Each structure stands twice: as C-alpha cells, then as structure tokens.
Structure 1
Amino acid sequence: MRFVIVGEALVDVVPDGSGTRDLPGGSPANVAVTLGRLGHRPTLVTSLADDARGSLVRGWLAASGVEVRAAVPATGRTSTAAVVLGADGGATYEFDVAWDLPAALLADATGDADVVHAGSIATVLAPGADVVEAALRAARGSALVSFDPNARPAITPDVDEARARVERLVGYADVVKVSEEDLGWYYPGTDPVDAARTWATSGPAVVVVTLGGDGAVVVRGTPWCVSRA
C-alpha cells in the first residue's frame, strides 16, 4: 500500500536552560515518521530549504524510511515554530512558515497513491493550500483520503475563511481526525460532537473527535452513529 503525506515539515525551536534547541517536527511529517516506523515506506510531499535545518529534518525523516519530495520555499529558509512558554507552563508558537508547492510535484506524487493524508498548516496557508485542496479533490474516489484540520489561529486569524476551506476539505475526505479544541475554534459555542455530526453528513465515512484525557468520539457517516472510545 502506498501512503502519500502532504504537509509541512519544520523545526520546533524549543527553549532549554541555556538558550534554544532545534527539534524536527510538523504534524504531517510526524504522520509520515510514524508510518515509516510501523514498517511502511511513506512519501512526504513538503517544503524544505537547502539549509542546516532542512538537513536536520531530512535526516530525521530518512531515519524512519520516509521518502521526501520537497520544494524549496520562496524564503530560502526551512520553516520554524518557535515555542514560547507562558508563566503557567503552557506553550504557544511563533511561526515562520512559507508554504507553496508546485502543482506538478504534488500531482506526480499522489497520482498512484492508495492513501493520501493532509493536514495542519499546509491545508489552510496560501498559496500552497490551493494546490493541496485540488490534490485532495482529485484523489477522492481513487485513494483513501485522510484529513487532520489542526486549527492554527496564529496562521489563519480569519476563522470564517479558514472554516470555509476546512469544510470543503472535509467533504473530500473519507476519514477526518479533529480535536475538540480545533472544533471549538471553528464553531465556538457548539458541542464538538454536534459539529462532527454535521461534518459526517458531508462526505467522510468516519469523523474522530479527540477529547484529550477523556478519550475520543467516533462519528460515522450517514446514517451516522456515535461511539465513544
């Protein structure tokens, strides 16, 4: 089975006792690494510069058997997420992310995929988000499409615009995984399971809502039902 993951690979700049340290990451890249460690040979389509941080990320991916197909960002820098710790120990992020993929690169990678997964910043940040959306739309029906709409208000402060795009992508997906926090940002004041039920009527076979330490809720598509895990 051929897995193609689409999305950002970046460096988390994490404070330590004497300054900061660089750790490779990115939600879609983490998915690719996990698949690789499970014995698959996934392909990650992403954006990486030819710099020290890009080399760090490439080495991390290669160590888990991930094939990388990358475009060089217009900034010439590998994307970063600087971790800022608050007084309560909670973390926020300051992003330096450029996301622009050539349509031909993505089409070539996804054309014969069995599973296509996309999520997080790559699905909402222009101009690359348009290319990702077109690829998921094209993959619908020929591959299993998985989508993780990881909300990033710092990247997309216009919630109405972000929600509209996410709802289109949900309609192309077969499987959606979303946290209750994400749904709380997209639909403030709405019960997250109710929001998932609405999503489940628009195309996906399964919507999984994660609830942190309280487990998860699985909502299946029409006729939908709810299961708690």
Structure 2
Amino acid sequence: MSAHVLAVGEALVDEVHRPDGSTAEHAGGSIANVALTLGRLDREVRLATWLGRDARGDLVRDWLAESDVTVVEGSDGAERTSVAVATLDGSGAATYSFDLTWQVPPGATAGPDTLAVHTGSIAAVLEPGGSQVRALLEAARATSTVTYDPNARPAIMGDADAVRPRIEALVAVADVVKVSDEDLGWLYPGQSPADVARAWLAGATGSTPPDGGAEPRSTGPALVVVTLGGEGALAVTAAGTLEVAAPRVEVVDTVGAGDSFMGALIDGLWEHDLLGAQRREALRTIGPATLTAVLEQCVAVAAVTVSRAGANPPRRAEVAR
C-alpha cells in the first residue's frame, strides 16, 4: 500500500438553486470536495463515505473516479444517497439545507501508509457517524497527521452552544485545523478570529469530550488557519501569526471554495514533508517561509474554484507553482 490521505465524511448530491430560477444537480459534499481536490492535485486519496446504491450514488462515484479518488470498500451501505440543497444569492454565496444520513463505513481505518486523516463538517458531528469519526481520529494519531475543518452547517448542526463542545474536542485531537471566519463568527460571536485561533492552538478551549470520556491526547493543534474569503487567510503557529492575500478574481460562486483550500493545505504540507505522525514535531515548528508558500498555493487553488461554477477545483497543471 502506498502513501495516501484518508478523507472520512460526507459525499452527496448538491441540488443547486440559482438566482435566475434554474436548478441543477452536482456531486459534492465537504469531505468529498477535499478528496476531489487532492485527487486533482495528483495525490493518492481514499474517501470513506456513506452512499446509496442508487442513481445519485452512481453520479457521485463517477465524479470521484474521474479525479482519481478511491472510494473505501463498504461506503455503499446507505439506504439512499444524501442530498444538500444549495440556494445561491446574487453574489454567488450559498446557503444550505440537508436530507442526509451518515456513518463511518466498516472498511475505514488508518494504516502505516496513511500520511493524514481528514474530516470535518457534518460527518464530524452527525450521529451515529460523529462518535465513530472521533474514535477513528484518536486511533489515527499513532500513524497519521489529523486534519479538521469544522465547516459549520447550522441548518443541520443546530445551535452553536450545543455543537461548540464537540467541535472544540475535535480541534484538540487535530494537528491541523482550517476554519472560516464565518464559522468562527457563528461559534464565538464578538470574538476576533485570530484570538480564537490562538486559543485553539494553545488548547485553551476548556472543553471536554461530548461523551464525557478522557481528555484528548493532543494539547492543541500545531497549525490553525482561518480563511477570510476574498481577503485571503491567516495562520497561527507557535511562532506567531502570518497572513496572505487572496488573488483578485471574478467570483462566479463560492461553492466548494473552502474545501479546495483545505485540500490544497494538505497537499502543501505533503509537498514539504510535514505529514505523518513521525513529522508531528516538524509540523509544530513550521517556518514562515514554508507556511507562506503553502498558504499562497491554497489561496491560488481556492481562487480558481470561485472563478467557475460549482465545486470544481483545479487540476495540478492549472495552478502556477
């Protein structure tokens, strides 16, 4: 088995409603979009998800295969393939509602060749899969870098006060966290995104696991990245805070932009040999030049994604290196 990333979470069909009244169906899902980005960047990636053996499931499987994403065996056990309804406003920004079910397929596990395990969004909080994801991440730390994007979906996650402890517990298990300023505004109204990122880095969330069990084995992530939409991104490490600007592009819509940024972040850390449990200390001491190069690639990938319709991240050849 060769070195790879394992992405664990939702793949579904996006039913997109545009301002002109038109609708279309596209394969998507936050974690699937991250996996797709990695596949298009020529990385070996496997997706543990939960699809039905139906026409929509076939649509998703074909979409993933076109970008060289391997679907983990057992991921086809759902009664039906989940659907997210995305409604776009005049600026291209999307709001979502959902009809989905989720659990971790039995074949999902991290092995010695799993450089990183990524999860987030709905899969990390929706039961019964959420608790299964948490257990998988804790086990994966023995071999792999753990990456996490809360990618909040209030329409299905519920009240911020209720979901915050679960998100904070997952942050504490992760080595790398990517979060949007919008998500932090929902989770911590009135607080500076940079201040929250520093608290997460320090393990200062004050949370306990939702199941009341033992404290996470991590004391906080090595790297927290906050995306700022068209303004770029900021990153917090033990060495301090670093910011990069986003390229100026004409935005068609923002669907999948954060997910493509996340995929590019994993790709960049892989390129600089910062993935895998044995590289955990190197990741914690990442230097500003390396981090800047990684983040500039991330905002470049996201800029291509927002410049065209839907979650359509670039392939490696489309992004200047």
Contact 2:180–2:226 (CA<8 Å) still a contact in 1? yes
Structure with greater strand share of residues? 1
Contact 1:199–1:207 (CA<8 Å) still a contact in 2? yes
Structure 2 residue identity aligned to 1:211: L
Within 2, Cα distance between the matches of 1:147 and 1:36? 18
Aligned partner of 2:135 in structure 1 is 134
Contact 1:176–1:207 (CA<8 Å) still a contact in 2? yes
| Equivalent residue in structure 1 for 2:8, among 6, 11, 26 | 6
Q: Which runs of 5+ in 2 are unaligned?
A: 204-219, 245-321
Within 1, Cα distance between the matches of 2:229 and 2:12? 24
Aligned partner of 1:210 in structure 2 is 227
| Equivalent residue in structure 1 for 2:240, among 222, 225, 228 | 225
Aligned partner of 2:147 in structure 1 is 146
Task: Mark the CA change 1:85 to 1:214 in structure 2 (over 3 Å): closer, same or farther.
Answer: closer
Contact 1:147–1:173 (CA<8 Å) still a contact in 2? yes
Contact 1:156–1:162 (CA<8 Å) still a contact in 2? yes
Ranked by relative contact order (alpha carbons within 8 Å, sequence separation 6 or more), the top structure is: 2
Deviation at 1:139, TM superposition (A): 1.3
Within 1, Cα distance between the matches of 2:92 and 2:51? 30
Is residue 194 of structure 1 aligned with residue 195 of structure 2?
Answer: yes
Is residue 72 of structure 1 aligned with residue 87 of structure 2?
Answer: no
Task: Mark the CA change 1:177 to 1:87 in structure 2 (over 3 Å): closer, same or farther.
Answer: closer
Contact 2:56–2:81 (CA<8 Å) still a contact in 1? yes
Deviation at 1:111, TM superposition (A): 2.9
Is residue 174 of structure 1 aligned with residue 175 of structure 2?
Answer: yes
Contact 2:176–2:221 (CA<8 Å) still a contact in 1? yes
Within 2, Cα distance between the matches of 1:62 and 1:85? 27
User: Does 175-184 or 153-162 show the bigger shift?
Assistant: 153-162
Within 1, Cα distance between the matches of 2:76 and 2:116? 21
Structure 2 residue identity aligned to 1:72: G
Within 2, Cα distance between the matches of 1:47 and 1:214? 34
| Equivalent residue in structure 1 for 2:87, among 71, 84, 87 | 84
Contact 2:8–2:104 (CA<8 Å) still a contact in 1? no
Structure 1 residue identity aligned to 2:50: S
Deviation at 1:85, TM superposition (A): 4.2
Deviation at 1:157, TM superposition (A): 1.1
Deviation at 1:71, TM superposition (A): 4.1
TM-score under structure 1 length normalisation: 0.91
TM-score under structure 2 length normalisation: 0.66
Task: Mark the CA change 1:204 to 1:90 in structure 2 (over 3 Å): closer, same or farther.
Answer: closer
Aligned partner of 1:24 in structure 2 is 27
Within 2, Cα distance between the matches of 1:105 and 1:138? 14
Contact 1:81–1:95 (CA<8 Å) still a contact in 2? yes
Describe the superposition over 1:16-38 as per-residue Cα deviations: whole angstroms up to 9, x where unpaired. 66753210111111111111111
Task: Mark the CA change 1:40 to 1:91 in structure 2 (over 3 Å): closer, same or farther.
Answer: closer
User: Does 138-147 or 178-187 show the bigger shift?
Assistant: 138-147
Is residue 44 of structure 1 aligned with residue 47 of structure 2?
Answer: yes
Contact 1:10–1:25 (CA<8 Å) still a contact in 2? yes
Aligned partner of 1:117 in structure 2 is 118
Aligned partner of 2:253 in structure 1 is none
Q: Which runs of 5+ in 1 are unaligned?
A: none
Q: CA RMSD in A?
A: 1.8
Aligned length: 222
Describe the superposition over 1:154-191 as per-residue Cα deviations: whole angstroms up to 9, x where unpaired. 11112223111111111111111000000111111111
Within 2, Cα distance between the matches of 1:133 and 1:123? 7
Within 1, Cα distance between the matches of 2:153 and 2:180? 12
Deviation at 1:90, TM superposition (A): 4.7
Structure 2 residue identity aligned to 1:117: H
Aligned partner of 2:261 in structure 1 is none
Aligned partner of 1:33 in structure 2 is 36
